[in-house]
Amino acid sequence: MLDNLQETVSAWPFGVFFLLVGSCVGSFLNVCIHRLPAGKSLVWPPSHCVVCLAPIAWYDNIPVVSYFVLRGRCRQCGTRFSARYAVVEAASGLVFFGFWLAYFIFGVRPGAAHVGVYAVHMVLASALVASGVIDFERKEIYTSVTNVALAVALIGSFLWPQVQRVGAYDGQLPGWTGWERADAVLLGLLGAAVGGGLIFVTRLLGTWAFKKEAMGIGDIYLMAAIGGALGWEAAVLVFLAAPFLGLAYGLWHLARKHDSEVPYGPFLGLAAGAVMLVQDGVVAHFRPGIEVMWEIVYRIVCQTAGSG
């Protein structure tokens, strides 16, 4: 039955469906981006103009389309809306469509063409978009967003152990308890611990070295969500890749504004998106070297224990 479902989801009409769903999710992410920093409810009042407070009709709230139909202005008072609304909606739609294309059509990751894997990864991607935009604009990351992504990752791992299996080093669950659902959740918790722990240690060392807060607490929670959804191996790859993605922007920002404080959330999100696509290839490339290193470490530990 599940195999038939995967084949059904691979049909092109579903790609269009996910494109539209992603755009609608982007519309909700815009609400989160605007209201969370202001401490407002995400559900009430309904969408409205922030200047004249006029409610926005459903036909003026169609993702992407309405922005261009209204030329980026409120129908009632003419107040200009930020182009960010349309950009987030379009980007979210393209993310949902792009990962559907990568997983179900091109098969870039073995085992990723699975509805549970796709669902968990798209919740994570949505959290990364919202957190990245808020962090870029305000240098804040809200745990209410990252914790939802982590909770969905753990629940999804219980419902579909394939969520963790697809990101595991050898494609297999560890077999710690003998019950694959429990093993999948434990593996997700390990990923969250590794992801959050890497940033936590970096923050401690950076704060000690530079005598000021090196990274925000929110980055820890964001990496915990990434590790919980993608696995500890992916968390390590994201941790290693994100600084390179942020380097060019950091240098430009320093030269332009003479400010060394750069939001890290957007680059963690970009790195996570890249790892979601290329993790298997990267791990396969470095696997022989990794195994040799582990063998050397293992022998050193055994010799040390034997001589002691």
In angstroms, the CA 70 to CA 99 distance is 30
Evaluate whether 218 touches 127 at the Cβ level (below 8 Å): no
User: What is the reported pLDDT for 306?
Assistant: 62
For 172-196, write each residue's pLDDT tens digit.
Answer: 898 899 899 999 999 999 999 999 9
For 48-101, write each residue's pLDDT tens digit.
Answer: 877 787 888 888 888 999 989 888 888 888 888 889 999 999 999 999 999 999
User: What is the reported pLDDT for 296?
Assistant: 80
Q: Does residue 282 carry a pLDDT above 70?
A: yes
In angstroms, the CA 134 to CA 146 distance is 12
Q: Does residue 2 carry a pLDDT above 70?
A: no
Q: Does residue 210 carry a pLDDT above 80?
A: no
User: What is the reported pLDDT for 289?
Assistant: 73
In angstroms, the CA 175 to CA 188 distance is 13
Segment 204-208 shows an average pLDDT of 84
For 31-48, write each residue's pLDDT tens digit.
Answer: 999 999 988 888 888 888
User: What is the reported pLDDT for 285?
Assistant: 78
Evaluate whether 157 touches 163 at the Cβ level (below 8 Å): yes
On average, the pLDDT of the chain sits at 88
For 222, residues 6+ apart whose C-beta sits below 8 A from its C-beta are 127, 128, 131, 141, 146, 199, 265, 268, 269
For 135-161, write each residue's pLDDT tens digit.
Answer: 999 989 999 999 999 999 999 999 999
Q: Does residue 132 carry a pLDDT above 80?
A: yes
